[in-house]
Amino acid sequence: MLSIKTPQLNIINDMILLVLLAFLTYPFLTFSFQIDQIEDGVFVHFGVHEDSNHLNEGDIANIGFIVGEKSIMVIDTGGTPVIGKKLLDSIRQRSSLPISHVIITHSHPDHFFGTQEFLIENPLIVGHEKLNRSLVNNFEFYKNSQYNTIKSNTLKKAELVQANIFVKINQTLEIDLGERIIEIRAWESGHTDNDLSVYDKKTKTFWSENVFVSRIPSIRASVLGWKKNLEEILDMDINLIVPGHGRPLKKEEAIRPVLKYFNRLISQTRDFHKKNKSLQESINQILQDEIINPKSVNKENWILFTEYHYTNITKVFTELEWE
Ligand SMILES: [Zn+2]
């Protein structure tokens, strides 16, 4: 009998040990900072599909880095200094090459609040020609709103770091990381009025906040401008798109759903204007057609749909009012 019981006891002991181990390591697993290498030398940390809050600690945007033979380029620095530090530490676990450039893709707080952590590396900070104006105007507001939603004390010590290299609208800046040319392009108003994209010529990877995958795009500047930008991106020689939010996808797969959503918003809104409907009437009709009607053909499966759809409608309504 004993010879039968012993292995059973061993299994039970092993199981208790495993549960204990899982329990003890859980906090570390929760705060681990995952980096995926999506192409040769292209590393991405994927943010979660949520608005910033104290549980996700503001870690909602895609940020990352590209490694050349001589140096490293960082693309966005995250929603808090803590996230910026985690990104820096992740880079240093993989390479000791200098960080020559930090690219700020646009002035939204989930993308730039970690920049101060990279100053120790003395990089060039690259932004759209309109980036600094937006950073300066909005910094205190964003700092307070980030603190109020995330409740991280490190935000109180957040410093405004401005760009010191600028890309003019519709122009491209070439940066050589060593056997690796990166093209930084400044776009006309789309998601914001200061959107930059990053194109790695070696792998034909295109990184841009003008593309949202799964998460609904939030229109902050111009729907017509954004649509034009996306149509231009469709004509580019791109292998893989890293969106500002969501997983990497092939060009068509990434862009078509966003274009479809914009085209629908534009034609609906033009129709409302033609019929002289007020904004409230338009929103009520959309609510009736898309949310209440279960058979609506306009139902789209965007994450955070109700959080942003109505502000998008409002934005498009005002943009198209006088065309
Ligand atoms: Zn943004």
Neighbours of ion ligand 1 (CB under 5 A): 108
Distance CA 179, CA 184 (A): 16
Domain boundary among 253, 285, 302: 253
Q: How remote is the CA of residue 212 from the centroid of ligand 1, in Å?
A: 10
Based on the domain organization, do 161 and 238 belong to the same domain? Answer: yes
Shared-domain flag, residues 145 and 135: yes
Query: Is the same domain home to 60 and 80?
Result: yes
Distance 21 CA to ligand 1 centre (A): 39
Let me know if residue 261 belongs to a domain. Answer: no
CB 202 within 8 Å of CB 297: no
Residue 121 lies in a domain: yes
Residue range 226-252, pLDDT digits in tens: 999 999 999 999 999 999 999 999 999
> Is there a domain that residue 9 lies in?
yes
Q: In this structure, are residues 113 and 104 in contact, taking their beta carbons and an 8 Å threshold?
A: no
Instruction: Name 37's bridge partners.
Output: 43
Residues 24 and 134 grouped into a single domain: no
Domain count, the chain: 3
Q: Are residues 27 and 149 in the same domain?
A: no
Indicate if 232 and 292 belong to the same structural domain.
no
pLDDT surpassing 80 at residue 101: yes
Q: Are residues 1 and 123 in the same domain?
A: no
pLDDT of residue 111: 96
With respect to residue 259, please indicate whether it lies within any of the assigned structural domains.
no
Cα of 109 from ligand 1 centre, angstroms: 8
Residue 258 lies in a domain: no
Ligand 1 centroid from CA 213, angstroms: 13
Name which of 168, 50, 227 is nearest 210 in CA terms.
227
Quick: pLDDT tens for 153-169.
888 889 999 999 999 99
283 and 174: one domain? no
Bigger pLDDT: 215 vs 43? 43
Distance 105 CA to ligand 1 centre (A): 9
Domain boundary among 253, 283, 305: 253
Asked if residue 219 and residue 102 are part of one domain, the reply reads yes
Domain with 97, as residue range(s), is: 34-253
39 shares its domain with 26 = no
Q: Are 312 and 219 in contact, with CB atoms under 8 Å apart?
A: yes
Record the tokens describing residue 222, joined without a space.
């111009």
What integer best gives the mean pLDDT of the chain?
88
Among 96-105, 113-122, 144-153, the least confident range: 144-153
Q: For 56-67, what is each residue's pLDDT tens digit?
A: 888 999 999 999
Q: How far apart are the first and last CA of the chain?
A: 88
**CATH code for position 77:** 3.60.15.10
Is residue 260 included in any domain, yes or no?
no
Q: Can you tell me the distance from the alpha carbon of 212 to that of 61, in angstroms, rounded to the nearest whole number?
A: 11
pLDDT score at 95: 97
3-class DSSP state of 37 = strand
* Cα–ligand 1 centroid distance for 111 (angstroms): 7
**Is the same domain home to 271 and 209?**
no
**DSSP letter for each residue of 103-144:** E---S-HHHHTTGGGGGGG--EEEEETTHHHHHHHHHHHHHH
Sheet holding 72-75, edge to edge: 36-39, 42-45, 63-67, 72-75, 99-103, 124-128, 165-167
Task: Identify the three-state secondary structure at position 45.
Answer: strand
Same domain, 129 and 11: no
**Distance in angstroms (rounded) separating the CA atoms of residues 223 and 144:** 28
The answer, yes or no, to whether residue 296 has pLDDT greater than 70, is no
